[in-house]
Amino acid sequence: MSLLKQPYEIKTDNLKPGMIISGQPGVGKSTLALSMPNPVMIDADNGVHRVDQRHRVPTLQVTSYQEVLDLIASDEIKPFETIVVDTVGRLLDFINVHIVKENPKLGQSDGQLAIKGWGVRAQVFRALLNTVKTMGKYLVFVAHITEDKDGDSKIIRPDFGGGKAGYDLIKDVDVVGYMEMLGRERTISFAPSERYYAKNSAKLDDVLKIPVLKDGVPNDFMTKIMSRFKDAADQEVVRLNEYTVLMEQIKTTIDGIADVETANAVVAEMDKLPEVWDSKIKARAMFKAQIDMLKLTYDKENKTFVAPVAA
């Protein structure tokens, strides 16, 4: 059995993009994150009380990183489809304390991590990410924001509290969204910008307007977005399957060209084939290569291929 999968064999039925949601204070980052499918909340920032009661979900109010590890390893987490970490910066603070507790030599007298401690923090955080990835769940990190200076310019980025772990996270996740108020509307932007960090590997809409949650309206905005994302991914796989089958058909047909008669027969047949992506461009290139190999020429007057004239 082949270990490799053909493009049309790649499955997307369990495709769950990782995400960071950052933004201005009070813009509704936590509530938006909790609109993901069937979420559980890891409240590292002691901020669940700021979420409207009607939008709250089962929550771990973190007092130590060991509690997070225990929850992830427990049966309690199994029924949930999304893990929301609020906020990633505060979770990393708990990891700092956990590291120093396990090995005091990795800390300094001022409470900060020693140089080796920062490397250990990145490793511990990476282990957490890898564990959650194997669970087949959405993972959403809520983040405060900070500003980096680049000459006279400023760029807003998620706040990870320094160290390498946060930058590794940005590389690992599929989506980084920046929430803000534009006039009286809340938006989340996924398109990279000179003004803020963003990332859109999941091909979501560049900017989404976030609706006001009126009484009786479910908090399911991101659940609907994820449903659309999955549908689009599934449709792309179906289209890829059509493309792969079509290209195999074209290759078989062109490989069968052995003389003038089969060349002219294939021309008529090729015109009837559907077009998927660049199939016609590739078909023409394959056809030309086969014709050149057989040294056939095209009679423009009669619009047919003819055999080469014997020397």
pLDDT of residue 244: 87
3-state secondary structure string, the chain?
Answer: CCCCCCHHHCCCCCCCCCEEEEECCCCCHHHHHCCCCCEEEEECCCCHHHCCHHHCCCEEECCCHHHHHHHHHCHHHCCCCEEEEECHHHHHHHHHHHHHHHCHHHECCCCCECHHHHHHHHHHHHHHHHHHHCCCCEEEEEECEEEEEECCEEEEEECCCCCCHHHHHHHHCCEEEEEEEECCEEEEECCCCCCECCEECCCCCCEEEECCCCCCCCCCHHHHHHHHHHHHHHHHHHHHHHHHHHHHHHHHHHHCCCCHHHHHHHHHHHHCCCCCCCHHHHHHHHHHHHHHHHCCEEECCCCEEECCCCC
Q: At how many degrees (to 10) do helices 279-294 and 221-255 cross? A: 20
Identify the residue with better confidence: 80 or 215: 80
The reply to whether omega before 297 is within 30° of 0 (cis) is no
Beta bridge partners of 143: 22
Asked whether residue 59 carries a pLDDT value surpassing 90, the answer given is yes
**pLDDT number for residue 286:** 92
Q: Which amino acid would we find at residue 282?
A: K
pLDDT tens-digit series, residues 243-293: 888 999 999 999 999 998 998 888 888 878 888 888 889 999 999 999 999
Q: What average pLDDT does this structure show over 202-217?
A: 86
Model pTM score: 0.78
Model pLDDT, residue 26: 86
Task: Summarize the confidence of residues 69-88 as an average pLDDT.
Answer: 95
> Of how many residues is the chain composed?
311
Q: What is the mean pLDDT of residues 84-95?
A: 93
Phi, psi torsion values for 208, nearest 5 degrees: -120, 135
Calculate the average pLDDT of the chain.
87
Q: 75 pLDDT exceeds 90?
A: yes
pLDDT tier at 14, thresholds 50, 70, 90 = low
Question: 243, 212, 159, 270: which is closest to 32 by C-alpha?
Answer: 212
CA 193 – CA 166 distance, rounded (Å): 19
Tell me which CATH code domain 16-219 carries: 3.40.50.300
Can you give the residue ranges of every domain in the chain? Answer: 16-219, 232-306
pLDDT over 80 at 197, yes or no: yes
Predicted pLDDT of residue 111? 75
Q: What percent of the chain has pLDDT over 90?
A: 40
Residue 88 — pLDDT band, cuts 50, 70, 90? very high
As a whole number of angstroms, the distance between CA 8 and CA 5 comes to 8
Q: Which amino acid does the sequence have at 189?
A: S
User: Where does the pLDDT of residue 1 fall: very low under 50, low under 70, confident under 90, or very high at 90 and above?
Assistant: low
Q: Tell me the per-residue pLDDT of 135-149, one tens digit each, with 9 for 90 and over.
A: 989 999 999 998 877
Look at residue 309 in the predicted model and tell me its pLDDT: 66
pLDDT at 226 (0 to 100): 84
What tokens appear for 62 in the block?
């973190």
pLDDT of 7 over the 80 cut: no
Contact 38, 218 (CB under 8 A): no
- Portion of the chain with pLDDT greater than 70, in percent: 95
pLDDT-based confidence at 240, cuts 50/70/90?
confident
Tokens of 130: 């890898």
pLDDT band at 206 (very low <50, low <70, confident <90, very high): confident
